[in-house]
Amino acid sequence: MMQETLIPKLGVVTDIRIDTPDVKTFRVVGLDGKKVFDHMPGQCAMLSIPGVGEAMFSITSSPTNTEFMEFSIKKCGCLTNWLHAMDVGQQITIRGPYGRPFPVETELKGKNLFFIAGGIGLAPLRSVINYVRDNRQNYGKIKILYGSRSKQDLVDYHEILDEWMADDNVEVYLTIDRPQDDWDGHVGFVPNYVKEIDLDLDYNVLVCGPPVMIKFTLANLKELGFQETQVYTTMELRMKCGVGKCGRCNIGNKYVCKDGPVFRFDELDQLPNEY
Amino acid sequence: MQELMLAKAKELLQNGTVNRVLGWQAGEFVYDITPAVFESEQDLDAGFVYNEFCGNNLSKYLIKESRKEGKVLAFLKPCDTYSFNQLIKEHRIIRENVYVIGVPCEGKTDGETLKSKGVKGILGAKSEGDELIIDTLYGEQRLSKRDALTARCLTCKSKKHVVYDELLGEEGEEVPENHRFEEVEKLEAMTPDERFAFWRGELSRCIRCNACRNVCPACSCEKCVFDNPASGISQKAAADSFEENMFHIIRAFHVAGRCTDCGECSRVCPQNIPLHLLNRKFIKDIDAFYGEYQAGEDTESRAPLTNFTYDDVEPSIVYKGGKK
Amino acid sequence: MQDVNQFKPKIVAFCCNWCSYAGADLAGTNRLQYPADVKIIRVPCSCRVNPMFILRAFQRGADGVILCGCHPGDCHYTTGNYYARRRMTLLFSMLDYLGIEKQRTRVEWVSAAEGAKFAATMNEFVAAVTQLGPNKRLEDLRCKN
Amino acid sequence: MKKLPVSKIQELFAAIRAQQTLYIPTDDASGQARYLPWQEGMELTHALNTVRSAKDFFFPQTENLVEFKLKGKEIEIIDSRTEQDDFVIFGVRACDARSFTILDKVFLIDPIDTYYKNRREHGTVVTLACTQPEETCFCTTFGIDPADPEGDAACWIAGDSLYLKARTEKGEKLLSALDNLLADADEGEIAAQQKATRDIAQKLPFAKLNLAGFNGENLNKLFDSKKWPELSEACLGCGTCTFVCPTCQCYDIRDFDTGHGVKRFRCWDSCMYSDFTLMAHGNSRNSQVERFRQRFMHKLVYFPANNEGEYGCVGCGRCLAKCPISMNIVKVAKALEGEVQ
Amino acid sequence: MQRIGVFVCWCGSNIAATVDVAAVSEALGHEPGVVFSTNYQYMCSEAGQNIIKNAIRDYQLTGIVVCSCSPRMHEATFRKTAASAGLNSYMVEIANIREQCSWIHKDKAQATEKAIILGRAAIAKVHLNAPLTAGESPVTKRALVIGGGIAGIQTALDIADAGFEVDIVEKQPTIGGKMTQIDKTFPTLDCAACILTPKMVDCAQNDKINIFAYSEVKEVKGFVGNFHVKINKKARYVDATKCTGCGECTEKCPMKKIPNEFNLGLDNRHAIYIPFAQAVPKVATIDPNACNMLKNGKCGLCAKVCSAGAIDYKQKDEIVEREYGAIVVATGYNPIKLDDYDEYAYSLSKDVVSSLEFERITNAAGPTGGTLLRPSDGKHPHTLVFVQCVGSRCSAEGKGKSYCSKICCMYTAKHAMLCREKYPDTEVYVFYIDVRSPGKNYDEFYRRAVEEYGVHYIKGQVGKVVPRSDGKLLVQGSDLLANEQVHIEADMVVLAAAIEPDKSARPLATMLTASMDTNDFFTEAHAKLRPVESPTAGIFLSGACQGPKDIPDTVAQAGAAASKVIGLLAKDKLTCNPCTAHSDEMMCNGCSSCEKVCPYGAISYVDKEFRMPNRTTAIRRVAVVNEAVCQGCGACTVACPSGAMDLKGFSNSQIMAEVDAICKM
């Protein structure tokens, strides 16, 4: 039977974790209790509640997790409000995987990796980080820089503390925008923190976060001597079909849903500035 | 007239009264005129045109234009001035930023109308007396100017400019005997079944391109209810015959008492749906029930739907066949 | 084709809070019967009723829509029903113009004391709509079945 | 090549109709040329082409994708599609016939759009050569020969005869089923008409329209052109051009709550609409300049960049005739000519 | 997504007998979002309310639906219940399954089905409810009374009596209004001055009352509880704090041929004047249009004779800005101009006078010292004809008023009676359409005029009054009862002119955004139930500005208006109705449609700067609803084409959700 791209599959939410005041992480499996489909890090899926809406979300869990998929979702509109209000056991529809993943098996293989994330921007990178950690032998050094508005706004804080920071093979740098009482870590914006970290130029950088953060981070990376060919990010534009046909998510002749969402900055540089 | 307008435009640009000119720009053929803003004399010389094909109502552009830096010169035909006035009344146009020059209109024609008269392959046209001489791929064709008039111009309500800072040419008069409700009356005289069949036939062609709405000077909402998912009635395509009705009824209702009957909706409809017959029905009803009212005639009067009298007709008048 | 005798119309009645809704309550207090096909939606004033609501009702399968408000001059908000009167007159006339049966829409002024009038109006309206049969001209086929 | 007397065209239609649904371009009650299912007595329009394009046959303005029933926390997914019946579209012009190949390049590449494919497979396109092009026609710019249209089968009406030629297997199948009506003919019989048409086509106002340089190489140069604000100034942001266009294929997917379920449907969308790219937190094409640019860049640059130089336009001229403000792809191309030459 | 609780009430057997309540709560329990559903005998009882409270807590309900009696009965009860359990009281919806279901249907299956549908509609609505909080606004504890006639005076005195400050703004140099010009009052015939002037003095002496005489309201901003008013104190050219009202200046002023307004031009006054002896404040005023000093800089006599040194030719108009919590309109009335009434020869003969002029002629303080003399020759008239309904109850368009002026029947009877009493030698005729005398002791009064005083009442209209060269007025009329033409040779004709609102009322109404009827009378909030309030919150109506009234009615209404003001000013804060209109400024076009249909003047416009794409800004006119003033009718929501205007608690989407739920197959 031909693959149906526009007809979704059913999933059921088996766990809901409250990450921050406006981010929840949803665990989704198929009705048979298995993963709905396989994916690669950086790929996305269309989640929907019929009658409420359908939208693209990056898959937060690593492909190495063979039991379920996770989505970290920030409350920002009709559908996400609905998702935030639902209880465990709720069925949702899901289709995918969509898009070009981070080239973890090609360009990035064997490289030193530096992950830079801001706020909910950790969601797509978490998939890569855990994939890389689970295939640790295939990669060089790993640094993670993650920042958010406040301690409460750090997504996956417990996983970061309990797993990533406990991992000797991973260096984790956390920062928050403004000082607060129960925080004795670094305070300051992500782009500035990039310059404070002792960093060799032989890293490939994966960056994701709010557009302003990406802009200044990239500028600072370049200042440090990084080339655009070393830096990857993942884009978000309005999508409907997810398969490069509905016509709205293009930047120039590239469709974010199909040719992205992962782009290397030198690729983006070739494209018109319309995102 | 075009020369007169050009000279005037240049003069006002030169003496700094205005810093740009809203007018019509010539296209590839004689009929494909595009509204345009000219910023210099060179621009004007390159493309400014005013002739029997310049039908676009320029008023709506002034919502945007009057909010820009400096003053804009706008050439307005009589029927455009009604729309302009209505927009002033609704505080959509900043009057001080517009220098209005009224220009006369003898009625317009357009490519569609010529083609409906059997003219094919139009390349150019010139006017000679009462006739239009049309140059086509398949030879020259002549058409009397009256025959070439667009449908809306055949029922022109007024050749008078209701607002202007300056007038070029002679001031025209209102046209009281315009017969513009004849088509509405024809429909009213049909049985409900015939009317239903008629409107289904027409509205079923609607492709929801929104041209009627987007060109309509009365439809100047910041966000249309039909585009607003929060309104509960947003739609992109009419997915059902109901939605075709819904869109056109609500649109007509929203402009009821505000529509000046400029006819742009029907002009731009790519499917040639006589949308003006919906608006005219409201105009006719308003005239009959609440006294004659011409939207855009002034900037002060209360629109019929934001007004009432204690002894207005009851809705049951509809069951009595609309007779008072 | 449905048997006219079996046809149970769906009727939506918009009632203003101050007069007609109270009139409907009074009809209830006095145990005046009218068909269960009528379902009332309470609005603050007849002028709250947007033509959109009426079309929406037809879309969703209503066979008749009736709007009840205070008698002209008695509006709790002084002038609301005067505006409603104009709006509905024009809307109904437009529906008629489009060939949609005019008997499916109605405006009645019912005061808080007119429980009997409310019941009588509903009985009469339901009968009139029943006579017409199901709404076909303003239905949304997607909402059927 | 086959032929039959034009006077017998209704017999031909009846014969096709006997096997499958037949659509022909005809004048409807209000005088508009449109494709309607043929019924006895229905005649071909005299208009050059239909007001709407023929894309509806494969990519209709709205179509149901899937239905859902919701109960408590459970969702049921219902694929309510039925098998598409075979149908024939007769009288498609060369430009519209080409538009199908362009749509194929969107919908039939991986991942294939099964809805489109289903319709496409069941439809047989019978084209009809043009004899009197309009001033708005510029199909020749895209290498389309109005006198020799593509399609599963092609037709010519010359003199008293209708000439038919099968071009594909589907076309062969159709013609062989009509064999008893058709006589053999020689291609030479239509040569004169073809030449006449081609001569006119040479003389059309846009016969010399030059699109050299509109390709991926100049993508950023064209994108950054200073001409866009001026060109788009009068644009109303309506969807007329996109909806009459035979190759515009953008769509939206929406849900409709029927009260007893949710119907998910897709419908045409227009990149000219302000909400086309609107997200909860911003819009990548905020102004009409950007939206206008997107449409023409897509047709003239992005599409050829992704499809070996094939433009996303067939020169049918509908947008030239229908744009409320008479701004169109030809004017845009001419204005931008300077940027790439 | 709400978490909704459904509570189905049996209302004993009132509901349960016809509606299967268990089936209803069962069915509604399956609706989306419903996490708890139950039924109980009496939901409004304490036990019933406890079920609701417990469920709100136990199931973290965010909205509740009570299927019970009419919301007009217990909506308030259940809102309180919700609030006491910590749920916003506007997250409560009532499905009326008693008055509108169980009580009107007999068939249990049908009634049950309908109850379920009504419940579904309420659930659909509550899904879209948002918590609403009633706003509060402070109250400035001072009232403004516009107009210093008997209506304004009485209102001010009553408000002051309750301990609140009141300002009276009067455009004339003195307060007192029309009543000061009247001689005797019906039906008791006591002297107007005798009962009015003490009240005027009370006003002047009351330290809670502040009189701005010779002043006008220039601008009104704000809303109920918080009006900000600019008052223009016109220059009197006399320092009111110094002037003793001795009258020396008015004696000496050489400009003495100025028509005296107080006597309706029947005699003259000086350029510096005090309108009448009992004026309050008793301060002289210079008429700038008449004073030679002010016009030409020559004279200055008054300054010389003024021992108090109060004259100040350099005085300027002064704008006073004051804050008020409430405003009372008491702008009163005027008789209509009779200049157009040529059929009655009003402008042709001096002996054809209006009733108010007649009052002055018979008033002891008037131009004739109270002796009845013809204006033309000062002779004693023997035959007087009174014509009623001049300009009242006119059906024709153009001149005249459609309404009854209400007071003319009684004052004409008074005039006729007084004539006959003081001058038994006179013959007095009254032409009338009807005699309307429905007040207490009014009909008795009228009958005394006819029966005791021998006034000739003729039912019929006067067609024409022709002045003859011999000074007589030939009155031609018809006697409808006798069915004959009547010709009377009269010495004087008195026209009972219709009364109309003061001309200042219309611009004032605009300033106050208070609505008016087509005759320019202020509209009351409800014709029966709120007769002294304007629909615009905080604006109250006193006296004839609301409609024609005699003195007793005026005083009664003045007191009523005062009590409403007192009720308002007694509050420290005003709680607003939270179900108000609200405009989404992102969608608002600023077209003013909503403002036009708002009966309360609750909508105003501001130019607001918006952030636009590409880091630009744009200024747009947008509507702002004053929630303290909005009463929540929703007229604006339908007038708004863009849907920017919506009504909280009855939003477009809420009502459409109800429609959907009801119509669902």
- Check: CB of residue E656 under 8 Å from CB of residue E125: no
Conformation bin of residue B33: beta by default, left when phi > 0, alpha when psi is -120 to 50 = beta
What pLDDT score does B230 carry?
85
Identify the pLDDT of residue E535.
76
Chain D residue at shortest CA distance from E659: D259
Going from N- to C-terminal start, the domains of chain D cover: 2-203, 216-340
E517: exposed, middle or buried (Cβ count in 10 Å: 0-12, 13-18, 19+): middle
CATH class assigned to A112-234? alpha beta
Interface size between C and E, measured as CB pairs under 8 A: 143
Please calculate the CA angle D216-D218-D223 and round it to the nearest 5 degrees: 100
CB contact under 8 A, D256 and C142: yes
Within 8 A of E1 by CB-CB distance, chain A residues are: 81-82, 85-86
Report helix angle E150-161 to E551-569, nearest 10. Answer: 40
Contacts of A82 in chain E (CB under 8 A): 1
Confidence at E665, pLDDT banded by 50, 70, 90: low
Q: Do E638 and C83 count as a contact with CB atoms less than 8 A apart?
A: yes
Question: For E279-330, how does the pLDDT look when each residue is reduced to its tens digit (9 = 90+)?
Answer: 999 999 999 999 999 999 999 999 999 999 999 999 999 999 999 999 999 9
**DSSP string across B62-87:** HHHHTTSSS-EEEEE-HHHHHHHHHH
pLDDT at D160: 92
Q: Is C55 a residue whose pLDDT tops 50?
A: yes
Domain regions of chain A by residue span = 9-97, 112-234
| Residue D64, amino acid | N
Residue D54 scores a pLDDT above 80: yes
- In CATH, the number for domain A9-97 is 2.40.30.10
The pLDDT value given to residue D31: 87
Identical fold between E142-234+317-332+502-569 and E334-500:
yes
- State whether CATH 2.40.160.20 applies to domain E142-234+317-332+502-569: no
Residues in chain B: 324
Average pLDDT value for residue range A172-193: 91
Nearest CA in chain A to E614: A274
Residues of chain B falling short of pLDDT 70: 321-324
b (16+ CB within 10 A) / e for E263-287: bbebeebbbbbbbbebbbbbbbbbb
State the complex-level ipTM. Answer: 0.92
Section A231-255 average pLDDT: 89
Chain D residues within 8 A of A4 when measuring between CB atoms: 79, 114
Q: What is the pLDDT of residues C80-139, one digit of tens each?
A: 999 999 999 999 999 999 999 989 999 999 988 889 999 999 999 999 999 999 999 998
DSSP E strands, chain A: 9-20, 23-30, 44-49, 53-58, 69-74, 91-98, 112-118, 142-148, 170-176, 186-187, 203-208, 231-234, 250-251, 254-255, 262-264
C120 to chain E nearest CA, in Å?
12
Mutation target vs C (from E67, E633, E654, E658; most C CBs, 10 A cutoff) = E633
Cα dihedral E422, E424, E426, E430 sign: positive
List the strands of the sheet with E92-96, edge to edge: E34-40, E4-9, E63-68, E92-96
Residues 6+ apart with CB under 8 A from E365: E193, E276, E277
For chain C, what are the domain ranges? 11-137
**Chain B residues within an 8 Å CB radius of E593:** 90, 303, 305-306
Nearest by CB to residue B253, choosing from C51, C58, C96, is: C51
How high is the pLDDT of residue B324? 45
Three-state DSSP class for residue E191: strand
**Contact check, Cβ <8 Å, C78/E523:** yes
A1 pLDDT higher than 60 = no
Tell me if the bond preceding D111 is cis, omega within 30° of 0: yes
Extended beta strands in chain D, E state = 2-5, 21-27, 33-37, 62-71, 74-78, 87-92, 123-128, 153-158, 161-166, 183-184, 251-257, 262-268, 278-279, 282-283
The residue of C12, C143, C144 whose CB has the most chain D CBs within 10 angstroms, and thus the best one to mutate to test that interface, is C143
Fold of C11-137: Rossmann fold (3.40.50)
CATH placement of domain E4-127: 3.40.50
Judge whether A212 is closer than 8 Å to chain D, CB to CB: no
Q: Contact at 8 Å (CB) between E580 and E630?
A: yes
Q: Looking at chain B, which residue has its C-alpha nearest residue E652?
A: B231
Note whether B314 contacts C: Cβ–Cβ < 8 A. yes
Nearest by CB to B209, from D133, D243, D267: name it.
D243
Q: Which residues of E touch A81 (CB under 8 A)?
A: 1
Give the integer Cα–Cα distance in Å for D44 and D128: 11
- D273 contacts in A (CB within 8 Å)? none
Of B222, A78, C14, nearest to E643 by C-alpha is: B222
Chain segment D180-231, per-residue pLDDT in tens: 999 999 989 999 999 999 999 999 999 888 888 888 888 988 999 999 999 9
Q: How confident is the model at residue C145 (pLDDT cuts 50, 70, 90)?
A: low
The dihedral sign for the CA sequence D278, D283, D284, D286: positive
Rounded-to-integer distance, Cα E285 and Cα E261, Å: 13
Q: In chain E, whose CA is at the least distance from the CA of A52? A: E1
Nearest-Cα distance to chain A for D316, in Å, is: 21
pLDDT on residue C142: 85
Place of tokens 């895209």: D142
Q: Does E1 touch chain A (CB under 8 A)?
A: yes
How many angstroms away from the CA of E433 is the closest CA of chain C? 28
CA-CA-CA-CA torsion sign (E138, E142, E145, E150): positive
Best interface-test mutation with E: which of D283, D287, D291 has the largest number of E CBs within 10 A?
Answer: D287
Chains B and E touch (3+ CB pairs under 8 A): yes
Cα–Cα distance, E131 to B38 (Å, whole number): 53
Q: In chain E, what are the domain boundaries?
A: 4-127, 142-234+317-332+502-569, 248-305, 334-500, 581-648
pLDDT at D281 over 80: no
* Gyration radius from chain C CA atoms: 15
Give the number of other Cβ atoms within 10 Å of residue B138's Cβ.
12
E1 to chain A nearest CA, in Å?
A: 6
Interface test with C, best of D67, D258, D264, D265 (most C CBs within 10 A): D258
Topology, domain E581-648: Alpha-Beta Plaits (3.30.70)
Q: Which residue of E has its CA nearest to D257?
A: E660
Prediction pTM value: 0.84
B207/chain D closest Cα distance in angstroms: 7
pLDDT cut 70: percent of chain E above it: 99
Contact state of E593 with B225 under an 8 Å Cβ cutoff: no
Chain D CB within 8 Å of residue A2 CB:
yes
State the residue for tokens 């009727």: C11
Residue E2's closest chain A neighbor by CA?
A: A85
- Yes or no, beta carbons of D75 and A93 under 8 Å apart: yes
What's the rounded Cα separation, in Å, for the pair B125 and B1?
A: 17
Residues of chain E with C-beta less than 8 angstroms from the C-beta of A86: 1
Is E558 exposed, middle or buried (CB count within 10 Å of its CB: 0-12, 13-18, 19+)?
buried
Write the DSSP symbol of residue E244: -
- Does the structure show a pLDDT above 70 at E199? yes
CA-CA-CA-CA dihedral for A40, A46, A47, A50, to nearest 10? -160
| A217 has a pLDDT exceeding 50 | yes
* E596 pLDDT higher than 90: yes
- Supply angle C-alpha B290, B291, B293, rounded to 5: 105
Q: Residue B315: which of C55, C73, C88 has the nearest Cβ?
A: C88
Is residue D14 over pLDDT 60? yes
Establish if C89 touches chain E: CB-CB under 8 angstroms.
no
**D25: preceding bond cis by omega (within 30 degrees):** no
DSSP state of E533: B
Q: Do C78 and E634 touch (CB under 8 A)?
A: no
At E396 the pLDDT is 66
Which residue on chain D is closest to C143 by alpha carbon? D258
How many angstroms separate the CA of residue E23 from the nearest CA in chain D?
18
- Residue E395 banded pLDDT, cuts 50, 70, 90: confident
Query: Contact C11/C38 with Cβ under 8 angstroms?
Result: yes
Name the fold adopted by E334-500: FAD/NAD(P)-binding domain (3.50.50)
CB atoms within 10 A of CB A32: 9
Regarding predicted confidence, which is higher, E136 or C39? C39
Q: How many Å apart are CA E415 and CA E496, to the nearest integer?
A: 10
Would an 8 Å CB–CB cutoff place B200 in contact with chain D? no
